[in-house]
Amino acid sequence: MNRIFATVISTWLVTTAFADTHYVSLEGGNHPPYTTWQDAATQIQSAVDAATTGDQVLISNGTYLLTTQIVITNRASLIGLNGYSNTLIAVDWPAYTNRCIYVSGTSVIDGLSFSNGHILSSVTDDNGGGMWARGNPLIRNCWFGYNYCSNSVINTSQRGGAGLWISNGVVSNCVFESNQAYRGGGGICAYLNSTVRVTHSTIISNVCFSESLDCYGAGIWSGDGYLRCIVSNSLISANSFSGAASDYGGGASACYITHSTSTLNSAIYGGGGHNGIYSNSTLSFNTAFAGGGIAGSTAGIKIYRCDIHGNSASSRGGGVRFNLNTALQYLEYCTLSNNRASSGGAISFEVGGRLFNCMVNNNTNLSGSEFGGAIVVDNFSTSGTYTGSIENCTIVNNYSSNDCGGVYVVGSTNLIYNCVIAGNRSFSNQYTDVYATVGTHCFYNCLVGTNRLLLNPDQGNIYGDPKFKDPAGDYRLASDSACVNAGTNRSWTTNATDLAGSIRIRYGTVDIGAYEVVYQGLLFQTR
C-alpha cells in the first residue's frame, strides 16, 4: 500500500475511532451527554455543548425552532440523520430575530435545512441570515431558504449573505433559495480576503435590496474583484435586485464561475454576472440595462469558452459589455448568439477590450438610432490609447434596426484582424457588415456587403463569399474558401487553437475567421 495513502487511512481511523456521537431528537430523554437516542437532547445547542473536537451531533427528523442562534466553536460536526428534506432548523420569527447558526472552525455541516434566519445591522457580525461561517468548514447537502439580512450599515468588505456568509471553506451540493439581503450576496457572500469553493450547488430566486448604496451579487458576491470565490458545476438562476440604487451582477459578482449555468437573472449592470472570470459556462436569458449576460468594469475580467445566448440589455451590450479604460478585458473562444440590445446586440466594448476566436451570430440591435447588430467598439478615452481588438472571429447573420448589422467601430486605436464579417443585415441596408469611422481599422478580413470606401486599400482584405460548409449554420470554412491561409499571423496565434480546438496555424498562415480548415486524407508518406 502507498505509504502516504496508508498514513491518511490510519489518521482517519484514529480520529473517527475516538470521536463520540451526540444525538438530538424532539422525542429524546434529554439526558447529558446525549450519547444514545434514548438520552438524546431535545435542543441542538445542548448536544453541541456536550461535544468536543472530532465529535458529531446527529439530528433526527423534525422542525427545530430557535429562539437564539446555534453556536459551534468546538469544531464538532452537525449532521442531519435523513437529509435536509427531513430536518429543518428555523428561527421562530417574527417572535425572534436572530440567525440560525454561527460556525467557527473546521466543522462539517451536512444534510440540514436553515430557514427564517433574520440578522439585523445593529448586531455584531451583522452578516449571514441563515449561517455565518469561517475557519474552513465543509457545508454540504444543505438547504438555505427564506433567510434575511438587513446589513444596512456601510461595510464594503463584509456585507450581506442572507443565506450564508462565509470566510474560507467549501460549499457542496447545497441549495440557496429565496433569501433576501441588503447591499450584496442575497444567496451567498464570500468574504473578499478568503478562499471559498462552491460546487454542485443551486443558487436560485435570491434578492438583494438597494436603497441609496450600490448593491452587488444578488445570487453570490465575492468582494470587489478579488476572485477568491470559485463556483463550479452549479446553477445560478432567477436572482434579482430591488431598489433605487445601481446594482451589479444579478447572478454573481466578482467570482470565478466555471462549468456552470447562469440564467434568468437580472440587474442594472450584468444580468448574468459582473466582473470576475467566466470559463466553460453558459449565460443565457439574463436581462440588464447594460451587459445582459455579463458586465465588466475592472481590469482582468476574462470570459473563456462560454456560450452566451438569449440575453438582452435595454442599453448597451446584449451579451457582454466592457467599459473600463484598459485592454486587459478578454472575451475568447466564445459563442454569442441571439442576444439583443439597443446598441451592440452581442457586445459593447466602450474603452478597450479583446475579442479573439469567437463566433458571433444572430444577434440584434433593436434601436433605430444606434448601431451594431453584433458588436460596437467605441473609444471614449480622450487620449485614444485604449485599444479594442477583434481578431479571428466569425461574425455572421446579425441585424441592426438602424445601420450596421455587423461591426460598428470608432476611434483611432481599435482594430479588426482576420475576421469573417458576412451576411449581416440592417434596416437601412447601409454598412451592413462594417461601419468604420477610420479607414485603417480593418486588416486581412473577409468582408461582404461592406461600403469599401470606408476602408483603406492594401490592407489585405478580401471581398466576396467566404464559402461556409453550410451557410444555414455550419460556419466552418469549405476547403476551397478564399479565406484559407489568407490571414496574417499575429503573435498570439503561434501556439493557439481555433474555436473548435484545432491548431491555429496549421499550414503556415492563419485562416480568416474562428475556424481553421483541416484537410482530410494522406498528410505524409514513409518508405
Helix (H) or strand (E) holding 434: strand 434-436
pLDDT(113) > 90:
yes
Determine the Cα–Cα distance for residues 162 and 143; give it in Å rounded to an integer: 13
Instruction: Indicate whether 494 belongs to any domain.
Output: yes
> Where does a domain end: 190, 222, 256?
256
> Where does a domain end: 256, 286, 313?
256
Looking at mean pLDDT, say which of 156-165, 374-383, 425-434, 489-498 comes out highest: 489-498
Mean pLDDT of 437-442: 72
Per the omega criterion (within 30 degrees of 0), is the bond before 471 cis? no
Percent of the chain whose pLDDT exceeds 90? 64
Cβ neighbours around 172 below 10 Å, total: 18
Q: Does residue 216 sit in the same domain as residue 315?
A: no
pLDDT score for 464: 86
Q: Does residue 245 sit in the same domain as residue 313?
A: no
> Where does a domain end: 237, 256, 275?
256
pLDDT score for 182: 84
Three-state SS for 252? strand
Contacts of 167 (CB under 8 A, 6+ apart): 133, 134, 135, 190, 191, 193, 194, 196
Q: Mind giving me the DSSP string for 16-34?
A: HHS--EEEE-TT----TT-
Q: Mind giving me the DSSP string for 158-194?
A: T---SSEEEESEEEES-EEES-EEESB-SSEEE-TTS
Q: Does residue 195 sit in the same domain as residue 326?
A: no
List the domain range (segments joined by +) for residue 102.
65-256
Q: Does residue 105 sit in the same domain as residue 245?
A: yes
Q: Does residue 202 sit in the same domain as residue 338?
A: no
Determine the Cα–Cα distance for residues 203 and 236; give it in Å rounded to an integer: 5
> What residues form DSSP beta bridges with 463?
447
Residue with grid cell 446555534, as numbered in its chain: 70
Q: Using CB atoms within 10 Å of the CB of residue 508, give its burial: 0 to 12 exposed, 13 to 18 middle, 19+ buried.
A: exposed
pLDDT confidence band for 370 (50 / 70 / 90):
confident
Q: How many domains, in total, are found in the chain?
A: 2
Mean pLDDT of 184-212: 89
Instruction: Indicate whether 457 belongs to any domain.
Output: yes
Q: Does residue 310 sit in the same domain as residue 252?
A: no
Buried b (16+ CB within 10 A) or exposed e, 55-89: bbbbbbebebebeebbebebbbbbbbbebbebbbb
pLDDT, tens digit, for every residue of 451-464? 554 667 778 888 88
Q: Does residue 225 sit in the same domain as residue 318?
A: no
Least confident of 122-136, 158-172, 331-345: 122-136
pLDDT confidence band for 325 (50 / 70 / 90):
low
Which whole-number Å values give the CA distances from 113 to 83, 94, 235, 485, in the listed order? Answer: 8, 18, 19, 59
Of 301, 394, 281, nearest to 352 by C-alpha is 301
Q: Output the nine-digit C-alpha cell for 268.
A: 442594472
Determine the Cα–Cα distance for residues 430 and 441; give it in Å rounded to an integer: 18
pLDDT score for 418: 95
pLDDT, tens digit, for every residue of 84-102? 999 999 998 888 889 999 9
pLDDT confidence band for 18 (50 / 70 / 90):
very low
Instruction: Indicate whether 293 belongs to any domain.
Output: no
pLDDT(411) > 70:
yes
pLDDT score for 9: 34
pLDDT score for 121: 67
pLDDT(10) > 60:
no
Q: Does residue 312 sit in the same domain as residue 249?
A: no
Instruction: Indicate whether 126 belongs to any domain.
Output: yes
pLDDT score for 8: 32
pLDDT confidence band for 472 (50 / 70 / 90):
confident
pLDDT confidence band for 397 (50 / 70 / 90):
very high
pLDDT score for 388: 80
Q: Which amino acid is at 412?
A: S
pTM of the model: 0.91
Instruction: Indicate whether 514 belongs to any domain.
Output: yes
Looking at mean pLDDT, say which of 18-32, 368-382, 512-526 comes out highest: 18-32
Mean pLDDT of 172-187: 93
Mean pLDDT of 314-336: 88
Q: Does residue 230 sit in the same domain as residue 333?
A: no
Q: Does residue 140 sit in the same domain as residue 203?
A: yes
pLDDT(448) > 90:
no
For the sheet containing 118-119, what is the strand order? 118-119, 148-149, 180-182, 207-210, 240-243
Please tell me what DSSP assigns to residue 201.
-
Helix (H) or strand (E) holding 147: none
Q: Does residue 310 sit in the same domain as residue 229?
A: no
User: CA torsion sign, 56 to 57 to 59 to 65?
Assistant: negative
Residue with grid cell 456552470, as numbered in its chain: 260
Instruction: Indicate whether 22 belongs to any domain.
Output: no
pLDDT(7) > 60:
no
Q: Output the nine-digit C-alpha cell for 215.
A: 448593491
Instruction: Indicate whether 316 belongs to any domain.
Output: yes
pLDDT score for 382: 45
Give me the chain's average pLDDT, please.
87
Q: Does residue 95 sit in the same domain as residue 197?
A: yes
Instruction: Indicate whether 120 belongs to any domain.
Output: yes
User: CA torsion sign, 472 to 473 to 478 to 481?
Assistant: positive
